Structure 1
Amino acid sequence: MRKRTITAAALLLALAAGCAAPAGEVLTPPSTAPAGTETPAPTGEDSAVMTCRLVGDGLLAEGEDGPYGGTAIFTFGTDGDTVVTVDGEPAQVSDLRSGMLLTVTWNGAVAESYPGQLGPVYALTADSGDTDDRCGLYLQVLEDLWAADPGLNEGVTQVGLDLSGLTGLTQGEKAAVAWAFGETHGLEVVTGTLEELWAQGYFTPMTEPAEGYEDSLALYQWEDGVHFTLTTDTEAAWNLPALGPGEESPVLTAFNAQKWRSGLGAYFFSDCTAQRGADGTWTYTVGSDAIA
């Protein structure tokens, strides 16, 4: 299996449980489900409960208040005994959609892997009104940026991701986006800003700085990788129409995105705007794009 490097998220995962923990401390999930859980474990079985965001159709991003510190990601499986409930009604696993917030009841075990693999899942409960597929939005942006100027992707074995400037995503959701994007393209994932990866020696110089000038990232290239940066534009201004009685304001976000291979090879999506639909999915438009 290809080893994946996800510096920020993976180093926060405790080895045995796939969870964030201080050095020397191993966190474990609660041994029993909290009072009021509608779908407890089978008689005689221990259980644990946590809330996760479903990313795609098989990846879970732990919620901020989860037992593993809000940074963990998991894969899971179901069988004929798994109880699935959506909006209070019996449902099938196929009824679950990316972006749903799931209450997961399972036996409390997590396999030693990254992502962590949950033990037997007893129940999955969702409210469709909580669906927010921001992870799907940013995965689509990354795919579209990957397809732009494909020459920048030639020969890469690694992909760098800087999602630190994105608001509206938990640390677990950012880790899920990073892992899913790397998995799609079969690439090692390295998280961090361009400056951080430059300082860590990932890039090689294309030329030396001219006399009297300081060394600069613009003089470097990533021979083995390509780096993506997504940043929320917190200064964006919205020109919204007047709302009628009972109408709710749309859920919007604005962001910029960049793909970088070298100081002479980069692609930009600027002034992007996205809106969440009633079903929790997002659509976005690019204000302008440019190549360097």
Structure 2
Amino acid sequence: MKRKMYLFLSILLFSGILVGCTKKPFSIENTKLEFTNIEVRDGTTGNMVSLDENESKELYNYLKKIVFTKGKSPEQNTGWRYALDFMADGKVIDTIMIQDESIIKYRNYFYKTDDDTTMDLDYIASLCKSVFKALVIDNNNGLLVKPDVNSNEFRSSDKISIGTGSAIIYDEDKKEVDLNEIQIGDVINITYNGIILESYPAQITADYINILESNLLIDGYATIIDDIYNLDSGLNSGINIIALDLTEITNLSETDKEILLMKLYGMYGLEVKESTFDQLAEEGLINKEELYFPTGIIITISNSEYKEDIETLRYDIRKWRSGLGAIGYKGNAKFDGEKWIISSENMWVS
């Protein structure tokens, strides 16, 4: 009887040990984390990206679908690939370390995915990419850009040289295009791994470049300037400066004007600057006594009115080289869906 009792107790004890050793499934959802957003750190590059609320929820929902089981430390623990910091009120409340495609570390324990499941590290890597907007200022010797003044990249350098060897480039219609489609004056979005070489200009390597849709009004102004530039072309002889008097233009921001100047530089390969007659005279570029601009022309736009609903721009414009060398007219530019069509009236020449 005692032997039977001992045998029965041994079976119960052994069964209890087996039950205790059964690996319980673990899900990120079990953590019950109440977070506002997630910050992703790249263990290779050191780059850190703070995800917005929607991106954070997307990542969390992706991870909570994956079932893990507690396991031993990997045999070759060489560090972590990505760290996910769960944030609340600007403070880290918890962290999950991704070791590789199948192992995470959470609160000093390692967890492994099921045998037929792996984490998409390409997706995690994409979250660590940095994206910024920039203005193309040179495309002759590689791609040189000026970052948006509100970007972190601008705090590093006002000029950045872009490595494009492996970059995928998309145009405004999201079609893949060649590098030569990027023109001076274009505004682009650049996606890269967050690493900036602190030279001058600074250097980065782009993964993706998106050419943003052109500002229609900027294109309109570029078109009307090009129109008068090509009128009475003899006034352009021997010039190396195009000055624009945009004092009366109120429907372009300072950034828009900068883009316009860069577009014109790309079109003509000449120095293009925003300046008035008096400012040019103060610089000694215009001889006030002889009323002559030896090295350039000044194009002045006034009385401009843009009607966005019908995509029409009315304006007065003139090109001046000297007291006896100028031309101007009242203009009307209409966008026909593909290009700006210009009509003029009251043209005068001196």
TM-score in same-fold range (> 0.5): yes
On the 8 A contact 1:34/1:49 being kept in 2, the answer is: no
1:35 aligns with 2:51: yes
Give the whole-Å Cα distance in 2 for the aligned partners of 1:203 and 1:47: 49
1:221 aligns with 2:292: yes
Structure 1 counterpart of 2:206: 121
The Cα shift of 1:226 comes to 1.1
1:263 aligns with 2:345: no
Structure 2 counterpart of 1:284: 342
Q: Does the C-alpha gap of structure 1 residues 97 and 187 become closer, same or farther in structure 2, counting only changes over 3 Å? A: closer
The Cα shift of 1:256 comes to 2.2
Give the whole-Å Cα distance in 2 for the aligned partners of 1:177 and 1:126: 16
Structure 1 counterpart of 2:222: 139
Alignment of 1:71-86 (within 5 A): 78-82=164-168, 84=170
Residue identity opposite 1:200 in structure 2: E
Provide the aligned C-alpha RMSD in A: 4.5
Structure 2 counterpart of 1:185: 268
Residue identity opposite 1:274 in structure 2: A
Q: Does the C-alpha gap of structure 1 residues 131 and 143 become closer, same or farther in structure 2, counting only changes over 3 Å? A: closer
Residue identity opposite 1:286 in structure 2: S
The Cα shift of 1:108 comes to 6.4
The Cα shift of 1:264 comes to 2.3
For the residue of structure 1 that corresponds to 2:252, the secondary structure is: coil
Residue identity opposite 1:179 in structure 2: M
Q: How big is each residue's C-alpha offset from its partner over 1:56-105, in whole Å with a ceiling of 9 and x where there is no partner?
A: 99887866865549xx7878564444364867x6x303597989875432
Q: How big is each residue's C-alpha offset from its partner over 1:117-154, in whole Å with a ceiling of 9 and x where there is no partner?
A: 87322234578xx6533333322222221211112112
On the 8 A contact 1:61/1:176 being kept in 2, the answer is: no
Q: Does the C-alpha gap of structure 1 residues 118 and 205 become closer, same or farther in structure 2, counting only changes over 3 Å? A: same
Bigger helix share = 2
Bigger strand share = 2
Structure 2 unaligned spans of 5+: 1-46, 59-121
Report the TM-score when normalising by structure 1: 0.57
On the 8 A contact 2:296/2:321 being kept in 1, the answer is: yes
Q: Does the C-alpha gap of structure 1 residues 66 and 174 become closer, same or farther in structure 2, counting only changes over 3 Å? A: farther
Residue identity opposite 1:92 in structure 2: E
Moved more, 225-234 or 146-155: 225-234
Structure 1 counterpart of 2:332: 273
Moved more, 197-206 or 94-103: 94-103
Give the whole-Å Cα distance in 2 for the aligned partners of 1:283 and 1:165: 23
Residue identity opposite 1:49 in structure 2: V
The Cα shift of 1:229 comes to 1.9
Q: How big is each residue's C-alpha offset from its partner over 1:7-34, in whole Å with a ceiling of 9 and x where there is no partner?
A: xxxxxxxxxxxxxxxxxxxxxxxx6555
On the 8 A contact 1:86/1:125 being kept in 2, the answer is: yes
On the 8 A contact 2:223/2:340 being kept in 1, the answer is: no
Give the whole-Å Cα distance in 2 for the aligned partners of 1:73 and 1:171: 18
Give the whole-Å Cα distance in 2 for the aligned partners of 1:54 and 1:131: 13
Structure 2 counterpart of 1:148: 231
On the 8 A contact 2:235/2:321 being kept in 1, the answer is: yes
Q: Does the C-alpha gap of structure 1 residues 265 and 55 become closer, same or farther in structure 2, counting only changes over 3 Å? A: same
Q: Does the C-alpha gap of structure 1 residues 133 and 151 become closer, same or farther in structure 2, counting only changes over 3 Å? A: same
Structure 1 unaligned spans of 5+: 1-30, 208-219, 239-247
Q: Does the C-alpha gap of structure 1 residues 224 and 131 become closer, same or farther in structure 2, counting only changes over 3 Å? A: closer
For the residue of structure 1 that corresponds to 2:316, the secondary structure is: strand
For the residue of structure 2 that corresponds to 1:204, the secondary structure is: coil
Structure 1 counterpart of 2:130: 48
Q: Which has the higher contact order (CA 8 A, sep 6+)?
A: 1
Give the whole-Å Cα distance in 2 for the aligned partners of 1:52 and 1:140: 23
Q: Does the C-alpha gap of structure 1 residues 153 and 65 become closer, same or farther in structure 2, counting only changes over 3 Å? A: same
Give the whole-Å Cα distance in 1 for the aligned partners of 2:317 and 2:207: 40
Structure 2 counterpart of 1:176: 259
Aligned residue pairs, count: 227
Give the whole-Å Cα distance in 2 for the aligned partners of 1:120 and 1:66: 17
Q: Which has the larger radius of gyration?
A: 2
Identity %: 19
